[in-house]
Amino acid sequence: MSHKALQLLEYHVWANDRIINHLKALPEETYRSVIQSIFPSIAEALVHIYRIDSRWLHIMSGGTFEQILALDKQVTEATEGISLDGIQALYHEVAEKYRTFYSDKDLDALKEYPHPTYGVMKASYADIIQHLSNHGTYHRGNITAMLRQQGHPGVPTDYAFFLYEI
């Protein structure tokens, strides 16, 4: 299970890179154009994925709910008006932090994650990796729809395409 979980983390990194690299080949305004969708722009969708990736790393490291709120403020400030290259650099940075964090962990070990509204969740590190991958996949699908809404094709980021590449 651990190997597959780490492979899902690498898939998540790969798929984010595919989306960002695809966006770099499109007209620059595509990234920031305000549209009617689940997010007001593709830039906001990419920041959201990054925010959740950052949040979960902090949570797994023992961060409190109050610290998470402060982290969200830092992410908002760090990503204000961020370029595609900038968001890609942040994705790579957080991915490296995940690799370091997981390097000495038993990925199947259960940990408790208290939340002020939802109660306590018991999940393994592998479960959190699966959540990150699923969350990213969902929002990369949103981005594909947002691209099509602007008249641009999407780029395949299905897990099977990742498997072909590795």
Whether the pTM exceeds 0.85: the reply is yes
Rounded distance, CA 1 to CA 108, Å? 8
Whether the CB-CB separation of 145 and 37 falls below 8 Å is answered with yes
3-state helix, strand, coil in the chain (%, to 5): 65, 5, 25
Rounded distance, CA 80 to CA 91, Å? 15
Q: Which run of H or E residues covers position 111?
A: strand 110-115
Give 35-87 pLDDT, tens digit per residue. 999 999 999 999 999 999 999 999 999 988 889 999 999 999 999 999 999 99
Give 94-129 pLDDT, tens digit per residue. 999 999 999 999 999 999 999 889 999 999 999 999
